[in-house]
Amino acid sequence: MISCFMLGDKFYEEPKNLQSLDEIIEELNKNRETIYSYPCEAMIEIINEYSKILCSDRKFLSYEGVPFLILWLKKDNIKKLLHQDLRKQEFLDDFIEIADNKFMKAQPRGIVCHFMAGNVHTLPIYYLVQAIICRNVNLCRIPIGSINIVIELLKPLKDIVINFRGEKYYGSTLLKIISIINFSSNDLKLNTEMSQVADVRLICGGEEAVNTLSVLPKKTTCKDVIFGPKYSFAVFEKSAMESLKITKTFDNFAKDIISFDQRACSSPQVLFIEKSTVGINEAAQMLSQSLEKGLKRYPKLEINQGAAANIINKRGEYLLSLEKDIICSKDLKYTILIDKEIMLEEPVQHITIFLKEVEDIFEVSKLITPRIQTIGIASEDNSRIMNFANKVSLHGVDRLVKVGLMNLYDSPWDGILFMSEIVKWTILNLN
């Protein structure tokens, strides 16, 4: 059974129950022509207006991740992403001459089927906005725990009207090419049906979900864009550790740890600090203070019984070991686990960070695999970090960013220029 929460610009208070996707696909296809007539610039203006609405409402600002989303939705950022992914946003509107009498245009691929994970509730909005700007229609299967937030975040688009070059353009038109649905991730029949209608399969999730969905039958012309399980950590180079700005650096890093409760692929699980005049225990105290400050600005997160037991067991392990140390809050708000073993630890999440000291940050190079997504960087030596980036990215790292920006969605993501993947490059040669 399919539960449809949104179809076109209609939001259902009680989900509409459907046996198949036929009605949804028919409705989405009816609205294709309208979105084709919307200039790219007009859509960017609608999205920019949308960011202002989210920014001005306390309700939206209280949702986890929305402050990051608002920054991402701003006009200047969308234009920057279009330039990075497509070189020129004009490719979306018309055939652009790229050589003498040779033209190229970025056409939509068709139906983007979003198989979304539930670790970051705002994540579907990022992909929906990019797919809409590229004029694709969207069928989005969202975990039940994220649907209410996604629906509430989409609703403001319905009332947006902008004037562009003497014409009116409507946010509701953008909604008409979206359907939000849910069905059991174990339902092979419905997963197969959704896979077979896709012109693009966007798959976000853990290893089991990726392996299951990626082998389903699909069109021979279907494009797969897969964002699978990833791991992230941070390194503080000696120059950063001895800088007068080290307190601010730890404050920024605390934001990376706290955001999304470390559930995002870009959330740091381990911090490696390079040996310096600041010892590891002093560094742990500084991080503890930064976490205390940072957590005051975030609503208290609930920790389920299983996660709480995991944290308590880990604390016990470190408290009982002569080779390890620990700094933590009296409750389960945060935990800093200190040891010397140069390895990537299994994530505990819920503001639990492993802290390790290395003689040289280049020691972490041996830990790099294609599974590493983001390395947060703190350094005052750009030349050394450039050498470090060249070495580690050769083996698999997708992003190296300053701490404080680890969870800020940008492009490329996981090494993929998403918008270039969801368009079809068409050539017109008049020679």
The CATH code of the domain that includes 389 is 3.40.309.10
The tally of domains found in the chain comes to 2
In a domain, 136, yes or no: yes
**Spatial distance between the Cα atoms of 236 and 362, rounded to a whole number of angstroms:** 11
**Spatial distance between the Cα atoms of 140 and 126, rounded to a whole number of angstroms:** 12
Full-model pTM: 0.94
Dig out the tokens for 426 from the structure. Answer: 């068409």
Dig out the tokens for 18 from the structure. Answer: 């459907």
Residue 288: domain span: 231-402
Residue 302: predicted pLDDT = 81
Residue 269: predicted pLDDT = 98
251 lies in the same domain as 120: no
Residues contacting 134, CB < 8 A, separation 6+? 92, 106, 108, 109, 419, 422, 423
Residue 290: predicted pLDDT = 98
Q: What is the mean pLDDT of the chain?
A: 96
Q: DSSP 3-state assignment of 55?
A: helix
207 lies in the same domain as 237: no
Residue 229: predicted pLDDT = 95
Residue 300: CB atoms within 10 A of its CB come to: 8
List of E strands, 147-267: 161-164, 167-170, 178-182, 200-204, 223-227, 231-236
194 lies in the same domain as 315: no
- Write out pLDDT tens, residues 330-343: 999 999 999 999 99
Residue 300: predicted pLDDT = 73
In a domain, 363, yes or no: yes
List the chain residues with pLDDT less than 70: none
Residue 8: predicted pLDDT = 86
In a domain, 409, yes or no: no
In a domain, 407, yes or no: no
210 lies in the same domain as 237: no
In a domain, 408, yes or no: no
47 lies in the same domain as 191: yes
219 lies in the same domain as 312: no
60 lies in the same domain as 201: yes
**Spatial distance between the Cα atoms of 174 and 34, rounded to a whole number of angstroms:** 9
182 lies in the same domain as 269: no
150 lies in the same domain as 130: yes
280 lies in the same domain as 242: yes
